[in-house]
Chain A
Amino acid sequence: MTEFQQIERKQITFGGKPVPVAVVHPLDRASKAPSVLKGLVRGMRLTLGYFLRPWKVVTRQYPENRQTLRFPQRYRAMLTMIHDSQGFHRCTACKLCEKACPNGSIRVITQKGLLEGVNKLDQYIWRMDSCLLCNACVQACPFGALKMTHSFENAVYDRRLLVYNLNRYAGPPAKVLAAEPDTAKRRQMMEPRGRFDGPLPLNEGLKPVLAKTQESPVRETSA
């Protein structure tokens, strides 16, 4: 189908002047007709083949196949802080993830700890509405405190519900807490934090920047 028709270019004299013309032979075009029709029929046979074999349908019906959905292991849909069986997390509030995040979707808020000079985690604010799920924070964390999970059903009606705390308690990480034998004292070191503590209402202190010269929220919110 890609062979071009024969075009014969020659010069004729018209009114005494030489004029270049291209002569197209119409029967050349007509001789392509059978191959054109064959191509059309081939296409129609293909679609009819799929129509007559409805078992070849490849659709995965989402709401009905929820129980059997499998994703690649590296699929990233939501960030979580890993809490072990005793409920301890591993975050030391070193803020490496906050620095690694390309657009400031993580804010780590710290408070002075019982141990002198060492800050502990107060709130770990993660903005799902601006997170690009790039995994930089997970890779940057030297303690492996973060993890990306497969839970993708996160549609909301209100944008404020996409900014929340990832840590369930404010306090030292698992290493420190495990070294403390007394459970009562341990519980005293941990203050529970809810999912929406702090960030709601939306971003009163977390305004995005419009240009580099304007205020940068990084300096604003560290305690």
Chain B
Amino acid sequence: MGIVLDRLPGIFEPIPGGSVLITSIDAIVNWARSNSLWPLAFGTKCCAIEMLMATGAPHQDLARFGAEVARQTPRQADLMVIAGAIVKKMALRMRLLYDQMAEPRYVMATGSCAISGGPFMYYSYSIVRGADEIVPVDVYVPGCPPRPEAFFYGLMTLQKMIRQGETIRKPGIRRKPVLAALPQGITMDDLRVEQREWLQRDNTVDMAKAAAQKTWAARLEQWVPKNSNNL
């Protein structure tokens, strides 16, 4: 049915009033996608306990957002929650899992390790400095580990992006409202004018190209000895 959706703009645009129809279809489709994000539980380290296990537990309930159905198989998951540091050995497998996910797919990097390598940013022989060297990340949730409430805030930010930034007119292109989410206590005035322009310039992401650009994992071949059964 995704094929049907791709053809709809071509069918409806020429009709007068077709844009309104496409906008309303957009609204419904984005509402549905944002309200039923099924996470792929990619928990590698301590963040997994907060992001995946504590948020699924009764005190903070991920089911309220409709995201309790955590599928272990990437084919059925929408959202890859990277909870934990990515070791170089894991980077290849993470890339594999990302490639196996079905469109539309979102990635949320939670915790310092997934954003930038975290505690291991300075000296480490084995940690990848940030998951966005490997997969294109949509939302970053800082913290070490972030509270479940911080994760929910990140989820709501992602929902905002899905509702505002995607349209069936341009499948595979996502507009990230970069300046719509700022760390708490920071206003738009703090971002000087030229920086604001700079940030808005590369706002629109072509997901397919972005995913193909992360070749870091491919360079990891050299770390895996030949003929090993690590893969």
- A–B touch (CB < 8 A): the answer is yes
Identify which of residues 113-128 in chain B touch chain A, using a CB-to-CB cut-off of 8 Å: 115-123, 125
Question: Provided the pairs A196-B190, A201-B198 are in contact, do residues A157 and B112 lie with their beta carbons within 8 angstroms?
Answer: no
Is A63 a contact partner of B156 (Cβ separation < 8 A)? yes
Count contacts on B: residues with CB < 8 A to the other chain.
Answer: 54
In whole angstroms, how far apart are the Cα atoms of A62 and B146 in the complex? Answer: 14
In whole angstroms, how far apart are the Cα atoms of A212 and B129 in the complex? Answer: 15
Which of chain A's residues have a CB closer than 8 A to the CB of B152?
62-63
- Per-residue CB proximity of B172-187 to A under 8 Å, as 1/0? 0000111011111110
Task: Tell me if B170 is interfacial: C-beta within 8 Å of chain A.
Answer: no
Q: Please name the residue on chain A nearest to B123 by beta carbon.
A: A212
Is B181 a contact partner of A155 (Cβ separation < 8 A)? yes
Is A132 a contact partner of B144 (Cβ separation < 8 A)? yes
- Per-residue CB proximity of A139-156 to B under 8 Å, as 1/0? 000000000000111111
Question: Provided the pairs A60-B60, A69-B149, A208-B129 are in contact, do residues A154 and B142 lie with their beta carbons within 8 angstroms?
Answer: yes
Question: Provided the pairs A57-B58, A195-B186 are in contact, do residues A152 and B140 lie with their beta carbons within 8 angstroms?
Answer: no
Is A157 a contact partner of B177 (Cβ separation < 8 A)? yes
Question: Provided the pairs A153-B153, A156-B181, A208-B121 are in contact, do residues A195 and B115 lie with their beta carbons within 8 angstroms?
Answer: no
Is B176 a contact partner of A157 (Cβ separation < 8 A)? yes
Task: Tell me if B64 is interfacial: C-beta within 8 Å of chain A.
Answer: yes
Is B184 a contact partner of A200 (Cβ separation < 8 A)? no
Which of chain A's residues have a CB closer than 8 A to the CB of B154?
155
Q: Please name the residue on chain A nearest to B191 by beta carbon.
A: A196
Question: Provided the pairs A59-B58, A59-B60 are in contact, do residues A129 and B149 lie with their beta carbons within 8 angstroms?
Answer: no
- Per-residue CB proximity of A113-157 to B under 8 Å, as 1/0? 000000000000001111111100000000000000001111111
Q: Please name the residue on chain B nearest to A77 by beta carbon.
A: B143
Is B183 a contact partner of A159 (Cβ separation < 8 A)? no
Question: Provided the pairs A59-B61, A77-B143, A130-B116 are in contact, do residues A161 and B123 lie with their beta carbons within 8 angstroms?
Answer: no
Task: Tell me if A102 is interfacial: C-beta within 8 Å of chain B.
Answer: yes
Task: Tell me if B132 is interfacial: C-beta within 8 Å of chain A.
Answer: yes
In whole angstroms, how far apart are the Cα atoms of A1 and B61 in the complex? Answer: 34
Is A208 a contact partner of B116 (Cβ separation < 8 A)? yes
Task: Tell me if B84 is interfacial: C-beta within 8 Å of chain A.
Answer: no
Task: Tell me if B226 is interfacial: C-beta within 8 Å of chain A.
Answer: no
Q: Shortest beta-carbon distance, A73 to chain B, in Å?
A: 15
- Per-residue CB proximity of B146-166 to A under 8 Å, as 1/0? 111110111011000100000
Interface size class of A (residues with CB under 8 A): 35 or more
Which of chain A's residues have a CB closer than 8 A to the CB of B146?
152
Which of chain B's residues have a CB closer than 8 A to the CB of A62?
60, 148-149, 152-153
Which of chain B's residues have a CB closer than 8 A to the CB of A133?
143-144
In whole angstroms, how far apart are the Cα atoms of A16 and B9 in the complex? Answer: 86
Is A159 a contact partner of B112 (Cβ separation < 8 A)? no
The 9 closest A-B pairs by CB, nearest first: A195-B190, A155-B154, A151-B184, A154-B183, A132-B144, A152-B150, A129-B116, A129-B115, A103-B122
Complex A-B: 24 CB contacts under 8 Å: A61-B61, A62-B152, A62-B153, A77-B147, A77-B150, A78-B183, A102-B122, A130-B116, A131-B144, A132-B119, A133-B144, A152-B147, A154-B153, A155-B142, A155-B157, A155-B181, A156-B181, A159-B132, A159-B140, A194-B191, A196-B192, A208-B121, A208-B122, A210-B129
Binding site for B on A (CB under 8 A): 57-63, 69, 75, 77-78, 80, 102-105, 127-134, 151-162, 164, 194-197, 200-201, 208-212
Binding site for A on B (CB under 8 A): 58-61, 64, 112, 115-123, 125, 129-130, 132, 137-144, 146-150, 152-154, 156-157, 161, 176-178, 180-186, 190-192, 195, 198-199
Known: A58-B59, A157-B140, A196-B191. 8 other contacts (CB 8 A): A63-B156, A77-B147, A155-B157, A156-B178, A156-B181, A195-B190, A209-B122, A209-B123
